[in-house]
Structure 1
Amino acid sequence: MSLSDLAVRAASLAQRFQRIRSRTLGLCVGLSAEDMMVQSMPDASPAKWHLAHTTWFFEQFLLGRDPVWRPRHPEWHYLFNSYYQTVGPMHARPRRGLLSRPSLDEVLDYRRRIEDAVAARLHAGLDEAGEAIVELGLQHEQQHQELLLTDIQHALWCHPLHPAYDEALPSAQTSTPATGMRYVDGREGIVEIGHSGDGFCFDNEGPRHRTLLQAHALANRPVTNEEFRLFVQDGGYRESSLWLSDGWATVQAEGWQHPLYWQDDLDSAYGLGGIRALDPAAPVTQLSYFEADAFARWAGARLPTEAEWESAAAAQPLRGNLLDERAQPPRAATGDGLLQMYGDVWEWTASPYVSYPGFQPLPGALGEYNGKFMNAQWVLRGGSCATPREHVRATYRNFFPAQARWQFAGLRLARDR
């Protein structure tokens, strides 16, 4: 590669760095310092912590490679490390909402200083390993952009007045009925899944490998609010035979009666735009794996495996209702063929989150990024309305425990043929 090509690549990476970092701040427009300190549950984090942690990532893993680098606030390493045990201890995750200091202004100043230092490194030129860390850091930041949205939505929902994150967001209400659900035959036989070739992927997306698909079919679109409302009205949350044992125990312990954020009238729900009427034709969202699995049983179907999902999605154009500058609510499906494979809602699969054959984590501390979470979690596919558009791909594997329901997660049905 010539020097001019290297310069162009470095400039492109620097531009992406500034654009993605700026978008994170843009998602916080309209939030007060008080909003950004709230931690509504142990699984969520304050917006201020997201801003600081994504900055710490670049300081720790990129700037910290230089032996002469001296952190301005070395004690913040303890505050903003998330789960990287090999680089040191960290503040307990459930207590992130207690970090009133540093202040928001100090965190914003920290972001600016680290951004300037990273930009200087990019301008001077990084080796291949350094560029790979910047790319991973940007992908990591995009993950936190989605988490920032889902976490602030949960925090504001917990407020007794249910204030909106963004009152200007359009209502999801529509008079257009959803495309009628039908089943599309999937591939049968030996197929290849997993990432290969050019472009970024997380270590858990590979290696590419062969797997066997039995005869099956996928629903042409995700399950809608109206379809899930019928499940609720039919007593789905009261019928133990529909639920996995742990799921039924969770329903009883937590008193679940409908999806998270739905109001008891079953006609409205809380979203980023506040409490709005439910769009009956839009994909149902904020479901746990337990709820998705129970609905599939009630419907006489099942959840697709991740291999079935990826085999179908790989042939679809990568477009959909994904995050640009502001998150739009999930929308009704329109068109022909397999719809909404990308965007709107993450789709729970029947696949546990485990490693692919031949999986190798990244070397060093970055090997903690994915591999150590391959335990008691389930895979979701496809991205959501809060997933950055350039961040998703057919091989992307999201994962959450079965009881998690604050993400934009829904389901697509599958059947054996």
Structure 2
Amino acid sequence: MSVIQSVTASESGKDLLSRFQATRAQSEQLCKPLSPEDMTVQTMPDVSPSKWHLAHTSWFFERFLLQELAPDYRVFHPRFDYLFNSYYFTLGQMFQRPRRGLLSRPGVSEILDYRAHVDAAMATLIRERGDEPAVARLVILGINHEQQHQELILTDIKHVLGSNPLWPAYHDKAPSTASPPEALQFHAGVDGIHSIGYQGDDFHFDNEGPGHQVLIRPHTLAHRLITNGEYRDFIRDGGYQDPALWLSDGWSTVQNEGWNRPLYWGEDLETLFTLAGPQPLDPHAPVCHVSFYEAEAFARWAGYRLATEAEWELAARQQSPQGNFQDDGLFQPRGLEKDRGKLGQLYGDVWEWTASPYAPYPGYEPPKGPVGEYNGKFMCNQMVLRGGSCATPQDHIRASYRNFFYPHSRWQFSGIRLAKDLPG
């Protein structure tokens, strides 16, 4: 996650309130299928309870806007600032992240009251001051921040439900089986000296800039994502037992964690858990819930490599962000419907691991003040992912968007696209 850099005048004004309200309503809609018990569970430190996400996104608006810009605002509860701060140490201490699942109270009902309290005050603030650029920037930051947590609501509850031996379903929208894809084709990527990073004045996060030049060597990119069936071939060929395929840290992780298949796959390699409950494994759908280590090992086994983020971005700029996103309501990757002689599945379905470490672009400076903690301090020991997933809101993604996770992480909808160097 990162912090807002810019916003155009078209994103402020009278439409801001409706956009704010629609975003807030969507977060609650995503939680409608859940029981209060579902919304309280935390299955690992990376996962937060659903009700925590609802509260934290409210805390963000309360702390960064209402307490700073609305003199008459009354905080909902004096201890919520401690409970629902995530990692902003410049604002004070916070309840430990790995222990969020121990908070049986406040309950879901009280958190929904908290959201209503914040929403009413925010509506007044936006009506009165939403045309002010400084206010609009913070509101839009809060909206985009909440969209990130909408994705986390889905990925986190999948881990919660997938950790239950009953494998309960979140919804009943089981994905249909995809048609067999064409064999992998490789298309020449953009090479030479080019600028990457956000190119414009609309909203973007600080880690997307500043724009800068990069030298890209000749290469090719696979025309689609790697499928479950192709990854299963890697498993059956002993991929998880061959240390020659793995980075040292990856091999240690495989040994220590006992990995032998992607997260949510059954031992028979024929079933997997989805948010529609247990389903037959579709061999033609994109493989997902693999770590960077697994993605890199598969690429090595296949005789290829992962794309760099610069290679990916320059390819993605040539297409609009169309694909299988949260808006479709499936929350599961789909197979490539039709090959059209171009790169497919660049957006949506799964976040694509890249070979690029998450580091600041040349000339990057974190913003001053508490919002500077949003992103800059995390630029170490993580890898960049691109493209969004089936849990990402479609209007949240763009070619320059940089996601990042630790290389062992795999509870996100993360998958694989291959690349290869060309002579020259």
Tell me the secondary structure at the aligned position of residue 57 of structure 2. helix
Inter-partner Cα distance in structure 1 for 2:72 and 2:18 = 26
- Asked if 1:324 is matched to 2:327, the reply is yes
Inter-partner Cα distance in structure 2 for 1:69 and 1:25 = 23
- Asked if 1:364 is matched to 2:369, the reply is yes
Q: What is aligned with 1:381?
A: 386
Stretch of structure 1 that moved more, 66-75 or 218-227: 66-75
Report matched runs for 1:5-404 at 5 Å. 9-66=12-69, 67-126=71-130, 127-166=132-171, 168-174=172-178, 176-324=179-327, 326-333=329-336, 334-336=338-340, 337-404=342-409
Deviations 1:111-156 (A, max 9, x none): 0010010010111123211110100000000000000100000000
AA at the equivalent of 2:150: Q
Deviations 1:232-273 (A, max 9, x none): 000000000000001101101111010000001111100111
Q: CA deviation at 1:9?
A: 4.1
Q: What is aligned with 2:5?
A: none
Stretch of structure 1 that moved more, 357-366 or 46-55: 357-366
Q: What is aligned with 2:3?
A: none
Inter-partner Cα distance in structure 2 for 1:6 and 1:269 = 46
- Structure 1 residue runs of 5 or longer lacking an equivalent are none
Q: CA deviation at 1:335?
A: 2.3
CA contact (8 A) 1:27 1:325 kept: no
CA contact (8 A) 1:23 1:325 kept: no
Identity %: 55
CA contact (8 A) 1:323 1:386 kept: yes
- Structure 2 residue runs of 5 or longer lacking an equivalent are 1-7
Q: CA deviation at 1:363?
A: 2.0
Stretch of structure 1 that moved more, 319-328 or 288-297: 319-328
Structure 1 6/142 Cα, relative in aligned 2: closer, same or farther at 3 Å?
closer
AA at the equivalent of 1:78: Y
AA at the equivalent of 1:220: H
CA contact (8 A) 1:172 1:278 kept: no
Inter-partner Cα distance in structure 2 for 1:178 and 1:7 = 41
AA at the equivalent of 1:335: D
CA contact (8 A) 1:172 1:330 kept: no
CA contact (8 A) 2:354 2:386 kept: yes
Inter-partner Cα distance in structure 1 for 2:182 and 2:376 = 39
Q: What is aligned with 1:414?
A: 419
AA at the equivalent of 2:73: W
CA contact (8 A) 1:173 1:277 kept: no
Structure 1 21/325 Cα, relative in aligned 2: closer, same or farther at 3 Å?
farther
Deviations 1:180-228 (A, max 9, x none): 2110001111011000213111000001111000011100111000100
CA contact (8 A) 2:232 2:269 kept: yes
Tell me the secondary structure at the aligned position of residue 262 of structure 2. coil
AA at the equivalent of 1:385: C
- TM-score relative to the length of structure 2: 0.95
Aligned length: 411
Alignment RMSD (CA, Å): 1.4
Tell me the secondary structure at the aligned position of residue 204 of structure 2. coil
CA contact (8 A) 1:39 1:46 kept: yes
- TM-score relative to the length of structure 1: 0.96
Q: CA deviation at 1:325?
A: 6.2
Tell me the secondary structure at the aligned position of residue 326 of structure 2. coil
Tell me the secondary structure at the aligned position of residue 106 of structure 2. coil
Deviations 1:69-92 (A, max 9, x none): 331211110000000010010000
Inter-partner Cα distance in structure 2 for 1:183 and 1:207 = 30
Inter-partner Cα distance in structure 2 for 1:69 and 1:356 = 39
Inter-partner Cα distance in structure 2 for 1:276 and 1:241 = 33
Inter-partner Cα distance in structure 1 for 2:346 and 2:276 = 24
Structure 1 172/407 Cα, relative in aligned 2: closer, same or farther at 3 Å?
farther
Inter-partner Cα distance in structure 1 for 2:283 and 2:328 = 26
Q: What stretches of structure 1 move > 6 A for 4+ residues in a row?
A: 5-8
Inter-partner Cα distance in structure 2 for 1:256 and 1:301 = 22
Stretch of structure 1 that moved more, 400-409 or 330-339: 330-339
Inter-partner Cα distance in structure 1 for 2:140 and 2:366 = 16
CA contact (8 A) 2:49 2:101 kept: yes
Structure 1 325/315 Cα, relative in aligned 2: closer, same or farther at 3 Å?
closer
